[in-house]
Amino acid sequence: MTLTERFITLSAALTGFEATELTATGMSEIYREFVARQVEPPLYARLVDALADAAADPRAVADKDEELGELARAVCHLWYLGTWPGLRGNDGRSAPFPLPARAYARGLVWSSFGGHAPGAGRPGYGTWAARPAGATGGEER
């Protein structure tokens, strides 16, 4: 299993999205590389092992170990919002950090309710031709 596949498996357990959905965002490798730069390798390895031991139940991991819980929440935050919230107690390596605009647009928060990031998604061909549902119209000028 490649590093990216392991990261996607870990992320699927944390986010509740299928691995194929995470891969389809196009952000898997970018996020994996980013997390690798932000988190000490032993801490990341502990999270991977803890999720495997807990049958991929993130709540069980967070309840047992506050440091792993914080890392798990940070990875979820990254996938859902496209920003890194930072981790407490680090030597300054892991401060809050915005990623490129593409990360915002591909955030899982938008697909969780079938929407698009404001200003980033296209509504689809021809949707401009029909009045929005529920819109009341006045006279055109």
DSSP for 66-130, written as a single string:
HHHHHHHHHHHHHHHHSEE---TTSSSSS--EE--HHHHHT-HHHHTTT---TTT----TTGGGS
pLDDT band at residue 31 using 50, 70 and 90 as cut-offs:
very high
What average pLDDT does the segment 69-94 reach? 85
Residue 131 gets which letter from DSSP? P
pLDDT at 85: 93
pLDDT band at residue 141 using 50, 70 and 90 as cut-offs:
very low
pLDDT at 54: 60
Residue 55 gets which letter from DSSP? T
Token pair for residue 20?
Answer: 């194929």
pLDDT at 7: 92
Q: What sign for the dihedral angle of Cα 46, 36, 31, 113? A: positive
pLDDT at 27 over 80: yes
